[in-house]
Amino acid sequence: MKKLVTKRNLLILSVMITVITAMIPNLGMKVIGEYHHYGCPAEVLSYASNWRIGFSLWNFLFNIVFYYFTLRILMIIIKGFIPKSPH
């Protein structure tokens, strides 16, 4: 049960990180001509100067999976450094 809660929390956290990184202006912004692409590592949102806004579902899912596994690997590394209690 604890693993399920941890997986759910990691998934929620990875969705939050994906949305936040797409909203931070200089973090994951790429400008190509009049198009502005937002998101890191993959561009999730795109905006053109004539008020066209685009959303890429595949890049959004890729970012969620990327952040999920990155957070999971970080948890494994951090658990390796924390000493276990003798009880």
Residue 43, in any domain of the structure: yes
Residue 44, in any domain of the structure: yes
| Residue 45, beta-bridge partner list | 38, 55
In this predicted structure, what is the pLDDT of residue 1? Answer: 65
Residue 70, in any domain of the structure: yes
Q: Is the pLDDT of residue 23 over 70?
A: yes
Q: Is the pLDDT of residue 30 over 70?
A: yes
Range of the domain at 14: 2-81
Q: Give the C-alpha distances (Å, rounded to integers) separating 7 from 4, 32, 46, 62, 71.
A: 5, 37, 30, 17, 10
How many distinct structural domains can be found in the chain? 1
In 3D space, the residue among 36, 53, 48, 42 whose CA is nearest the CA of residue 18 turns out to be: 42
Residue 87, in any domain of the structure: no
Residue range 63-86, pLDDT digits in tens: 999 999 999 999 999 988 887 777
Residue 86, in any domain of the structure: no
Residue range 32-52, pLDDT digits in tens: 888 888 888 888 888 887 888
pTM, whole model, 2 decimals?
Answer: 0.79
Comparison of pLDDT for 8 and 42, the residue scoring more:
8
In 3D space, the residue among 20, 61, 68 whose CA is nearest the CA of residue 42 turns out to be: 61
Q: Are 73 and 79 in contact, with CB atoms under 8 Å apart? A: no
